[in-house]
Amino acid sequence: MNIKEIISQMTLEEKAGMCSGLDFWHTKAVERLGVESVMVSDGPHGLRKQDQEVDHLGINDSIKAVCMPAGCATAASFDRELIGKMGESIGSSCQHEKLCVVLGPAVNIKRSPLCGRNFEYLSEDPYLAGEMAASYINGVQSKNVGTSIKHFAANNQEHRRMSSSSNADERTLREIYFPAFETAVKKAQPWTVMCSYNRINGTYASENPWLLTDVLRKEWGFQGYVMSDWGAVSDRVAGVAAGLDLEMPASGGMNDKKIVEAVRSGKLDEAVVDQAVERILTINEKYFANAKPDTPWDKEADHLLSAKIAEQCMVLLKNEGVLPLNKADAVAFIGEFAEKPRFQGGGSSHINCFKTTSALEAAKAEGLNVTYAQGYSVQQDAATDQMIAQAVEAAKAAKVAVVFAGLPDAYESEGYDRTHMGMPASQNALIEAVAAANPNTVVVLHNGSPVEMPWIGKVKAVLEAYLGGQAVGIATVRVLFGDANPCGHLAETFPIKLQDNPSYLYYGGEADEADYREGVFVGYRYYDKKDMDVLFPFGHGLSYTTFAYSNLRLSSSEITDQDTLTVTVTATNTGKVAGKTVVQLYVGDKESTVLRPVRELKGFEKVELQPGESRDVTFVLDKRAFAYWNTQLHDWHVETGEFAIEVGQSSRAIDVCGTVTVKSTVKLKKHYTKDSIFMDLMADEDAVRVIKPLLDNFRKVFGGGEPSSEAAAEAVTEDMGMAMLNYMPLRGVMSFADGNTDKSMLEDLLKALNEL
């Protein structure tokens, strides 16, 4: 298909029409020119394909499909290969269902535990989110089906999401909220990008040329088309000009007419419309050229794959020797989630599963000695006295009691945020009662984001299952009974209480203004900087074996910001069973002129080791591993200095560390004024040479010579004098130079300084 030739034959009305959907899920066709319609589907952890009564919040039924673990779970796997296989499975199902694009992955940063959509998102850390997203995208697109990475950008709350302005400074956007998208674009080239509902510093994402054109296309090299989130368009003409190619869903022709009118009035260049149409048709043609509707979709096989993925994602938060369970022991499964697990979130990603397997069902299929007590009612959000009494009796009769708890559907969903970080009071009361009845109590959590755990000191073990997909029951039983060794690690910090979260005071904003006042200090970047106690740190995850890291080696002790540094560490399984460990590499600037986190994740690898086995793990760090976003340069910048290289099993469990000196090849141009203080001048070696005569004179005034009396010596010591000099502006020379300095001399001094 010669796309440019086809576009040249389209009428302006046809071209404008191509820039919006035909209906809720399809793009438009131009039959007279052979342009076919394509269909997209909600994702990202399975297909929510709707053919009949359509909606965007999962209210109406979609086709029977397979629900894989949600983003909150898959990110905890820290396993690029695993999430790539999940993407391949979803890509194949898209081919079977004649779908051009699956809407995902969702990579918005977890700024607060309250975000109602956190269950879809990957991490509080942009490096981890970007790496996992790129692997998912490459997996899906290896099947010649597109993805739509979302929601670009700074969409970190559901509250007022269609009108609120995410107000963040340049450095915060570049270091925290952009990198996951940037990594995915550069490493995987998603076929499409979905812009978010919100405004960014006052401008809607759907009509933001800096966001959609300057950053996404010109800087990062994005090649596909940009689509709107459903209903995210405010000003369609401004959106086309900014780089928003496809409006979804259909606008009933209203916005198509506005595009036509804008072109005919000269307000919008028709070439911009042509470009948008070309981008859309290029992606559509890529799908049609490789469409394989005869691709088989083995849902049963995918069900088992979903279970395999889920077991690799579960995080063992706590274990005081009670896990793994002995298959010969009597075990009580307590809590409605054991029979009816919560395994996905509400809203547009909600999958109509062709089957589910609960933990109770899986245990019975294995012939395990398991009894069941409901414990609480999700529908009533309550635990009656009778329910708790039955649960206590079941717990007393068993060797181990396993309470299945977490957050009901109503607690977290697309469309609204949580109001607190607590679990239902009924479930907390149940856990307390069961733990009092049986000292060997285990809690399995089904939730999409962190919860407070007031009972944490009263239970022997906690297994975070997150929202593990439709086969979560199989995975849970395998992990509990030791057929699978837990190997997930937290992709987010669990604070002790909500008030500890760095965005607590500002989250949600005032009216339609949401200020990101915590800046770059999101998640562990904040908690580690404050050395604050947390419930469980970022990267934390236990195993049924133990691991140790040793023998850290750096390829050099000194590099420039143009070089790479190779870091090698030895990982050893020091326990008695095989297991997987996530080797996490963090980098921290030991002394910086800007506020920076203590450490930032810059590398990770998941490694499987047999008992006693050791293996070297290697990382390669480039400039970005050491850089911060410099708002003077509007670019990434590395300051000359020492950087800590730390390798550990979480951000709070560092096993080995080393130091490398990085030299900057970029000299920042400094501009001095009469208000520049001497401390800043003296930090600049070149400036010191210019002001040396002044420094010598001030040392005489503030610190030189013999004091006239003992009282004078106590009043102004040499240290005190130099401290006063540090904070004195350059204009101070006019006041402390005995009339020997005039305005022209100060101007000459500034000229010399600014010519350095």
User: Pick the residue with more confidence: 52 or 3?
Assistant: 3
Measured CA to CA, the distance from residue 106 to residue 414 in angstroms comes to: 12
Closest CA to 432 of 456, 460, 451, 455: 455
Q: What percent of the chain has pLDDT over 90?
A: 85
Both tokens of residue 660? Answer: 């490398």
Residues 6+ apart with CB under 8 A from 496: 452, 533, 534, 535
Say whether pLDDT at 537 is over 70: yes
d(CA 520, CA 526): 8
268 confidence band (pLDDT: 50, 70, 90): very high
pLDDT of residue 59: 56
What is the reported pLDDT for 55? Answer: 61
pLDDT tens track for 705-744: 454 555 545 555 667 777 778 888 988 766 665 555 667 8
Whether 721 and 704 have beta carbons less than 8 Å apart is answered as no
Q: What is the mean pLDDT of residues 665-691?
A: 88
* CB neighbourhood size of 584 (10 A): 26
Residues forming a β-bridge with 716? none
Range from 37-46, 264-273, 575-584 carrying the lowest mean pLDDT: 37-46
Which CATH code for domain 11-289? 3.20.20.300
Please say if 533 is a catalytic residue.
Answer: no
Res. 348 pLDDT band, cuts 50 70 90: confident
- One of 3.40.50.300, 3.30.2010.30, 3.40.50.1700, 3.40.1160.10 is the CATH number of 300-530, namely 3.40.50.1700
What is the residue-averaged pLDDT of the chain?
94
pLDDT in tens, 462-506: 999 999 999 999 999 999 999 999 999 999 999 999 999 999 999
Quick: pLDDT tens for 590-634. 999 999 999 999 999 999 999 999 999 999 999 999 999 999 999
Give the model's pLDDT for residue 709: 52
Q: Which residues have CB under 8 Å from 355's CB, separation 6+?
A: 299, 303, 470
Q: Which two tokens stand for residue 46?
A: 């399975």
Encoded amino acid at 107, one letter? V
Pick from 175, 203, 180: nearest CA to 193? 180
- Say what percent of the chain tops pLDDT 70: 94
Query: What are the strands of the beta sheet with 315-319, ordered from one edge?
Result: 315-319, 461-464, 441-446, 400-406, 331-334, 370-373
Q: How many other C-beta atoms lie within 10 A of the C-beta of residue 100?
A: 25
Round to whole Å and give the CA distance between 105 and 304.
22
167, two tokens: 């107000």
Question: E strand or H helix at 461, and its extent?
Answer: strand 461-464
pLDDT of 14 over the 70 cut: yes
Query: d(Cα 220, Cα 222) in Å, to the nearest integer?
Result: 6
Write the single-letter amino acid at 485: N
| CATH architecture, domain defined by 547-663 | Sandwich (2.60)
CB-CB neighbours of 23 under 10 Å: 13
Q: Where in the chain is the domain with CATH 3.40.50.1700?
A: 300-530
Cis peptide before 153 (omega within 30 of 0): yes
Q: Tokens standing for 357?
A: 């397997």
What local confidence, expressed as pLDDT, does residue 710 receive?
57
> 113 with 450: CB under 8 angstroms?
yes
Give the Cα separation of 345 and 16 in Å (integer): 36
Q: So what's the pLDDT on residue 747?
A: 85
**Tokens at 230, concatenated:** 């459903």
pLDDT at 703: 55
Confidence at residue 731, expressed as pLDDT on a 0 to 100 scale: 84
Per-residue pLDDT at 54: 59
- Helical residues (DSSP H) of 290-424, grouped into ranges: 299-313, 359-365, 385-396
CB atoms closer than 10 angstroms to residue 630 = 18
CA pair distance 250, 255, nearest whole angstrom: 9
Predicted local distance difference test score (pLDDT) of residue 13: 97
pLDDT for residue 712: 46
Taking only the tens place, the pLDDT of each residue in 626-668 is: 999 999 999 999 999 999 999 999 999 999 999 999 999 998 8
Residue-level pLDDT at 60 = 66
Quick: pLDDT tens for 352-400: 999 999 999 999 999 999 999 999 999 999 999 999 999 999 999 999 9
- Identify the band that residue 62 occupies on the pLDDT scale cut at 50, 70 and 90: confident
Q: Exactly one of 79, 125, 229, 302 is catalytic; which is it?
A: 229
> In angstroms, rounded to a whole number, what is the distance separating the alpha carbons of residues 182 and 163?
25
Quote the pLDDT of residue 740.
Answer: 58
Arithmetic mean of pLDDT, 118-135: 98
Sheet strand arrangement including 653-663: 558-560, 653-663, 641-650, 579-589, 600-609
Six-digit token string for 351: 């999958």
* pTM over the 0.85 mark: yes
- Other Cβ atoms less than 10 A from the Cβ of 58: the count is 22
Q: Which of 561, 580, 407 is nearest to 484 (CA)?
A: 580
Q: Any idea how long the chain is?
A: 756
Residue 454's SS3 state is coil
Amino acid at 331: V
SS3 assignment for 151-198: EECCCCCCCCCCCCEEECCHHHHHHHHCHHHHHHHHHHCCCEEEECCC
Going by C-alpha positions, the residue among 108, 87, 109, 96 that lies closest to residue 43 is: 87
Q: What DSSP string describes 186-232?
A: HHH--SEEEEPSSEETTEEGGG-HIIIIIIIIIIT---SEEEE-TT-
